[in-house]
Structure 1
Amino acid sequence: MYQAGGTIKSLIDKVASKEYILPAIQREFVWKPDQICQLFDSLLQGYPFGTFLFWKIKPENRNIYQFYDFVKDYHQRDNPHCERLSELPEQEFVAVLDGQQRMTALNIGLRGSYSWKMAGKWWSSDDAFPYRRLYLNLLGAPDDDSGSVYQFEFLTKELAEQVTASHIWLRVGRILEDDIDDLTDELDERELSKDDRKRARVVLRLLRRTIYDQDKISFYEEQNQDLERVLNIFIRMNSGGTPLSYSDLLLSIAVAQWDKLDAREEIHTLVDEMNREGDGFSYSKDLVLKAGLMLSDIGSVGFKVENFNKTNMAVLEDTWGRVRQSLLLAVRLLSAFGFNGQNLRADSALLPIAYYLHFRGLDDSYLSRSEFAKDRALLRHWLVKSLLKSSGIWGSGLDTLLTAIRRVIVDRGRAGFPEQEVEAIMAGRGKSLVFTEEELDELSSIDYGNKRTFALLSIIFPGFDFSHHFHVDHIYPQGLFNKSALRKSDLHDEQIELLIKQSNQLPNLQLLEGSINNEKRQKMPDLWYEQQWPDPIARGNHLQSQAIDFLVDDLNLFVDFYEARKKTLRSRIGHLLNG
């Protein structure tokens, strides 16, 4: 039977006092800023808020399970996870089984902040994550496209203070901090038209009534203390809303079955550490859980409930330390190959490498010791080939492929990475790493923005020290290929379109260190190379190493350069991939 739970204000107060907390089986907060804004707009429009499912914890069970606090100040890099509660509140408390996303959204909107990464900025930069809080435009107009009536946005303080004729931004949390009369007096002090003042007052009072006066909350309370029953309820109740991945559900089971370690904290911490390696990656807990199954030699590597039984989870917990070490080593190896979250086409390609390192019991010395140089080269060659296949090696049939590769590594991988045997087993499953003539032709003119471009350049031109930032760069700068400038060269439109297209393809691309790339900018390459390598012999040797037979000083002749380098690159690619 559902019960009335009071107002939003009372709910938020209980979150703050930790009367409402989160059980370890709950997933992370996953809502985006626009979802929070939509929730507040729906509340002001009077739409149903939905019901909650609570689990009342009996005093004798308060220390059996692990619990977490709600997120208040979300930071995509520094604070994306719920904080573990090391000390539970003294008073009686309730664990939230359904409604976490909505309650966290209210907590962030009314009491906290939301900082997400701005596009085009480095993850390592603090400026990439401006501090934003939820604001309501008291003069906002309805948006017919989205169906929103009230304008909520997450803004920095500086943006919110920019007053215009159509904007009066109220930080939503002030409705909890300030008296309504004081907020109304602030409005009266503004120079507003009669209609705008009326509109702003109406919206302000509606916000206050919605938070303080209206009984918005209803809930069902489960009192059974059996974790298996609660887990089943949790899985059933979380089948709607923002979809739960298999890993969310299975992580819940692992959390419930690990005895010595906190599975949730271990996996989230490992994901964060992996993603901080090198220039940054974007691995998920799904991948880490699958890696746990693979590296622990648990049945198949599929996300099936039977793979997450108590026996298997005990094996995973016992081997977790080595699993963790091998995954981090594998990520460091990929970083040493020059890969990161921007240019790694398939995260799952990490898994066979991690298993191989794990199987052989290798450590960080593998990254630098000369005796492993040939083995590293084999791994890199196989990895790049798998990433270059246009059909996509790491898509459908992934679980059976990983299980088969694991078996080959166990049988043939004790002395070194068994590249040929792995490729043979892949070919038998329709994942051949032999490239057809058509595929080689396509690679020889691959585009600048393609995720395969870095991998291809890295194997054509080996020997880079990827501990520095390297970029895929244009030999003839892209800025030179603008239509207005090319028209002055008496080229007709078809020639211009062809030049612009070719300027973004492989024959006009190279790998350059970031600092050098910045120096190069819009210089013609013949002048820039002469400046970088004044000695003609050294310059000639470098150009040959980059498959550049000659340079032209006139864009009218760019096609000659393009065709010559494409022919050279096509030959190299065929030899490297199929030789």
Structure 2
Amino acid sequence: MASQTHAIMTLLNQIRTDEQLVLPDIQRDFVWSRDQIRLLMDSIMRGYPFGSLLFWQTRFLEVPYRKFVLDYLPSDTYVPKTKNANIPLRMVLDGQQRLQSLYIAVYGSHDCRRLYFNVTSGDSAHDTEDPEESLGATYRFEFWREDDSNRPKRLILMSRIMAWPPRTDDDRIDEVINEIGLDNDEASRARRNMRLIRQVLHQSDLVPVETIDEDASSAAYARNINEILEIFVRVNTGGTRLSRSDLMFSLLKSKWKSARLSFDELLRDVEKKGKLGLDKDFIIRGLLTVADGPPKYEVENVQRHWPTMEAAFEQFSKALRSAVDFCQSADVGIRSQSLFDASTLFPIVYYLYHHKNGSVPDDQRKPLRCFLYFLLFNDFLRRPEARIRYLRTELQKHKGKSLPLNELLDVIRVRQTHNHTCTSAEMLNSHPRLALNIAQPAVCRETLSWQEQAEVDHIFPQSKVRARFPDLVDDIGNLAYLGKLRNIRKTDQMPAEYFKSMSDDELKDEYLIDDRAVLAEDTFAAFVEARRQRIVERVIAFLGR
């Protein structure tokens, strides 16, 4: 393994010029924030160790890769290319986040903002009146839009400072100082800072780089892709740690060339329907599930089953889209992530995977709705690995057929000590938000404004009844969804007053209150009992049991 040292600007110019330095597609996406980039620049200015980088000279293999991003946007998807065999190209195995951050800092932008250097910051200035803004940094770097007229004059664009030819340094620095209007100590500090930033980024021995296969003379002496992946997994245990999902995805990408684009497109489509907490981790586990592989999330399982997973992806995508649409449909009504655990989708997707186009059969909507809600009421898939297998074993007997609802509910009953397989007041009180989603459909949903966010309100205010009725105040019979702003305005109003302007029909349809007479303070216990029974009846009618 060859070892050398390089200047930061040498590496950035290799990235910028003719794709001399790129990223293997096994790498994760860029994840550093603007604050992390600012702190990295401060650390470099203060002479802190930069840390080594690990490159891979890919001469003999065909390898998917992608370029570093010049203008980073969080929503962008980046299309990989393929390096042909027998063409040399260096790729970054460790240090991607730092190099990408520096490339953005010197040449590019982060979410439409470019990096500026406060040329009067530093030890003697140390302007830390705003500790959150300074982040503990001595040298101040800030991201601004180029067209922002409120930017202070002493913030100078990093790309401008680094673009000066070496022989014109002093003239360019004087030009900046005159533009800003600095004199005396501030002018001296600005001059020192601009010289220092140029010096450290051009310092030839700052960055130690080790390169795998630099001296490999033939394919027989070069690492294969599995060895490279093993090295990649081992070195990525520091810095911004790779999650298990990142490592699993890297493994898949090393074998399945279109994995990145396929996963990104599917997640983007699903997220358009609303945030349900789905990610690459979910897709990998879901593919293992429909491929009838062990749902345990381990490298060995992905290595063993990836061909089946790749072959299953198209039908899995259809089934997942159908499952999400089904959950959010008017007759099911799961429209908020607060009601939902993403792992609940695994058995739903598995069932739909074995139907044409992954579609929900018309005559199975009610059984499937019932199954979905009882999974949620029981929190059955909070620890999904073994329980996915139990449910899948039952579903495997009914591929392409009617949903075996009773048998699936028996799995819940047998495998979970405290369970609910028929509607009861106890079940509703254990999950009041889910119960109210059935009692008051379409109220709990994703909203654009905080004012309409659904909150659980006590119809009889806690402050008025908790002391006398501690066992009833939090009962489902006394709870209702109310928009956040309306809840704030309601404060501790008693229901007889709050509902005064609401018609009897509205009171009955929206709140399941049949008789306005029970809204009196001295009828609280009777009110809770009557309304609880109405909610139980509505849930039974909805779920069918």
TM over 0.5: yes
Which residue of 117, 133, 150 corresponds with 2:139? 150
CA displacement at 1:12 relative to structure 2: 1.0
CA displacement at 1:378 relative to structure 2: 3.2
- Equivalent residue, structure 2, for 1:114: 110
- Equivalent residue, structure 1, for 2:263: 267
Q: Which secondary structure does the structure 2 equivalent of 1:343 belong to?
A: helix
Report the Cα distance in structure 1 between the residues aligned to 2:195 and 2:476, rounded to whole angstroms: 59
- Equivalent residue, structure 2, for 1:52: 53
* Residues 147 and 519 of structure 1: CA distance in aligned 2, closer, same or farther (over 3 Å): closer
Which residue of 345, 351, 358 corresponds with 2:353? 358
CA displacement at 1:354 relative to structure 2: 0.8
Indicate if the aligned counterparts of 2:26 and 2:253 stay in contact, CA closer than 8 A: yes
Which residue of 361, 369, 381 corresponds with 1:394? 381
Report the Cα distance in structure 1 between the residues aligned to 2:138 and 2:34, rounded to whole angstroms: 17
- Equivalent residue, structure 2, for 1:302: 296
Indicate if the aligned counterparts of 2:9 and 2:201 stay in contact, CA closer than 8 A: yes
Report the Cα distance in structure 1 between the residues aligned to 2:506 and 2:261, rounded to whole angstroms: 53
* Residues 111 and 434 of structure 1: CA distance in aligned 2, closer, same or farther (over 3 Å): same
- Equivalent residue, structure 1, for 2:410: 424
* Residues 474 and 289 of structure 1: CA distance in aligned 2, closer, same or farther (over 3 Å): closer
Report the Cα distance in structure 2 between the residues aligned to 1:52 and 1:476, rounded to whole angstroms: 58
| 2:31 counterpart of 1:30 | yes
* Residues 240 and 340 of structure 1: CA distance in aligned 2, closer, same or farther (over 3 Å): farther
Report the Cα distance in structure 2 between the residues aligned to 1:90 and 1:362, rounded to whole angstroms: 42
CA displacement at 1:465 relative to structure 2: 11
- Equivalent residue, structure 2, for 1:240: 238
CA displacement at 1:288 relative to structure 2: 0.4
Structure 1 length normalisation: TM-score? 0.74
Which residue of 457, 463, 474 corresponds with 2:436? 457
CA displacement at 1:51 relative to structure 2: 1.1
Which residue of 278, 287, 299 corresponds with 2:282? 287
- Equivalent residue, structure 2, for 1:199: 189
* Residues 474 and 429 of structure 1: CA distance in aligned 2, closer, same or farther (over 3 Å): closer
Report the Cα distance in structure 2 between the residues aligned to 1:161 and 1:506, rounded to whole angstroms: 55
- Equivalent residue, structure 1, for 2:454: 472
Give 1:114's aligned amino acid. Answer: H
* Residues 383 and 109 of structure 1: CA distance in aligned 2, closer, same or farther (over 3 Å): farther
Give 2:194's aligned amino acid. Answer: L
Give 1:237's aligned amino acid. Answer: V
Report the Cα distance in structure 2 between the residues aligned to 1:526 and 1:88, rounded to whole angstroms: 76
Indicate if the aligned counterparts of 1:19 and 1:89 stay in contact, CA closer than 8 A: no
Report the Cα distance in structure 1 between the residues aligned to 2:14 and 2:496, rounded to whole angstroms: 69
- Equivalent residue, structure 2, for 1:213: 203
CA displacement at 1:518 relative to structure 2: 8.6
* Residues 351 and 506 of structure 1: CA distance in aligned 2, closer, same or farther (over 3 Å): farther
- Equivalent residue, structure 1, for 2:516: 550
Q: Which secondary structure does the structure 2 equivalent of 1:428 belong to?
A: helix
- Equivalent residue, structure 1, for 2:44: 43
CA displacement at 1:409 relative to structure 2: 1.2
Q: Which secondary structure does the structure 1 equivalent of 2:354 belong to?
A: helix
CA displacement at 1:562 relative to structure 2: 7.3
* Residues 547 and 9 of structure 1: CA distance in aligned 2, closer, same or farther (over 3 Å): farther
- Equivalent residue, structure 1, for 2:309: 316
Report the Cα distance in structure 2 between the residues aligned to 1:326 and 1:13, rounded to whole angstroms: 46
Report the Cα distance in structure 2 between the residues aligned to 1:199 and 1:549, rounded to whole angstroms: 78
Give 2:26's aligned amino acid. Answer: I
Indicate if the aligned counterparts of 1:335 and 1:466 stay in contact, CA closer than 8 A: no
Indicate if the aligned counterparts of 1:70 and 1:83 stay in contact, CA closer than 8 A: no
Indicate if the aligned counterparts of 1:136 and 1:153 stay in contact, CA closer than 8 A: yes
- Equivalent residue, structure 1, for 2:63: 65
- Equivalent residue, structure 2, for 1:330: 323
Report the Cα distance in structure 1 between the residues aligned to 2:66 and 2:524, rounded to whole angstroms: 59
Which residue of 224, 227, 230 corresponds with 2:225? 227
Q: Map residues 374-453 of structure 1 onto 2, 5 A cutoff.
A: 375-389=364-378, 392-396=379-383, 398-412=384-398, 414-430=400-416, 432-434=418-420, 444=429
CA displacement at 1:294 relative to structure 2: 0.3
* Residues 465 and 221 of structure 1: CA distance in aligned 2, closer, same or farther (over 3 Å): closer
Q: Which secondary structure does the structure 2 equivalent of 1:215 belong to?
A: coil
* Residues 159 and 204 of structure 1: CA distance in aligned 2, closer, same or farther (over 3 Å): same
CA displacement at 1:423 relative to structure 2: 2.7
Indicate if the aligned counterparts of 1:346 and 1:387 stay in contact, CA closer than 8 A: yes
The farther-off stretch of 37-46 and 564-573 is 564-573
Which residue of 465, 487, 510 corresponds with 2:481? 510
* Residues 28 and 132 of structure 1: CA distance in aligned 2, closer, same or farther (over 3 Å): same
Report the Cα distance in structure 1 between the residues aligned to 2:336 and 2:441, rounded to whole angstroms: 20
Indicate if the aligned counterparts of 2:6 and 2:209 stay in contact, CA closer than 8 A: no
Give 1:418's aligned amino acid. Answer: P
Give 2:25's aligned amino acid. Answer: A
- Equivalent residue, structure 1, for 2:216: none
Report the Cα distance in structure 1 between the residues aligned to 2:335 and 2:151, rounded to whole angstroms: 38
* Residues 561 and 215 of structure 1: CA distance in aligned 2, closer, same or farther (over 3 Å): farther
Q: Which secondary structure does the structure 1 equivalent of 2:415 belong to?
A: coil
Cα deviation code 1:255-308 (max 9, x no counterpart): 2333xx5122212222222222x233331100100000001112x111223212
Q: Which runs of 5+ in 1 are unaligned?
A: 116-130, 447-451
Report the Cα distance in structure 1 between the residues aligned to 2:337 and 2:453, rounded to whole angstroms: 11
Cα deviation code 1:438-482 (max 9, x no counterpart): x956964x9xxxxx665332222348898998852577999xx9x
Report the Cα distance in structure 1 between the residues aligned to 2:529 and 2:69, rounded to whole angstroms: 56
Report the Cα distance in structure 2 between the residues aligned to 1:429 and 1:503, rounded to whole angstroms: 29
Report the Cα distance in structure 2 between the residues aligned to 1:291 and 1:215, rounded to whole angstroms: 47
Structure 2 length normalisation: TM-score? 0.78
Report the Cα distance in structure 2 between the residues aligned to 1:574 and 1:541, rounded to whole angstroms: 15
Report the Cα distance in structure 2 between the residues aligned to 1:287 and 1:569, rounded to whole angstroms: 39
Report the Cα distance in structure 2 between the residues aligned to 1:505 and 1:34, rounded to whole angstroms: 45
Q: Which secondary structure does the structure 1 equivalent of 2:23 belong to?
A: strand
Report the Cα distance in structure 2 between the residues aligned to 1:252 and 1:453, rounded to whole angstroms: 40
- Equivalent residue, structure 2, for 1:571: 533
* Residues 505 and 468 of structure 1: CA distance in aligned 2, closer, same or farther (over 3 Å): same
Give 1:510's aligned amino acid. Answer: Y
Indicate if the aligned counterparts of 1:2 and 1:218 stay in contact, CA closer than 8 A: no
Report the Cα distance in structure 2 between the residues aligned to 1:108 and 1:521, rounded to whole angstroms: 44
- Equivalent residue, structure 2, for 1:132: 113
Report the Cα distance in structure 2 between the residues aligned to 1:457 and 1:173, rounded to whole angstroms: 56
Report the Cα distance in structure 1 between the residues aligned to 2:115 and 2:527, rounded to whole angstroms: 54
CA displacement at 1:400 relative to structure 2: 0.9
* Residues 338 and 187 of structure 1: CA distance in aligned 2, closer, same or farther (over 3 Å): farther
Indicate if the aligned counterparts of 2:335 and 2:444 stay in contact, CA closer than 8 A: no
CA displacement at 1:353 relative to structure 2: 1.1
- Equivalent residue, structure 2, for 1:349: 344
* Residues 357 and 211 of structure 1: CA distance in aligned 2, closer, same or farther (over 3 Å): same
Indicate if the aligned counterparts of 1:520 and 1:528 stay in contact, CA closer than 8 A: no
* Residues 468 and 52 of structure 1: CA distance in aligned 2, closer, same or farther (over 3 Å): closer
Cα deviation code 1:362-412 (max 9, x no counterpart): 545x3xx7x33xx333333333343345xx53333x211111111111225
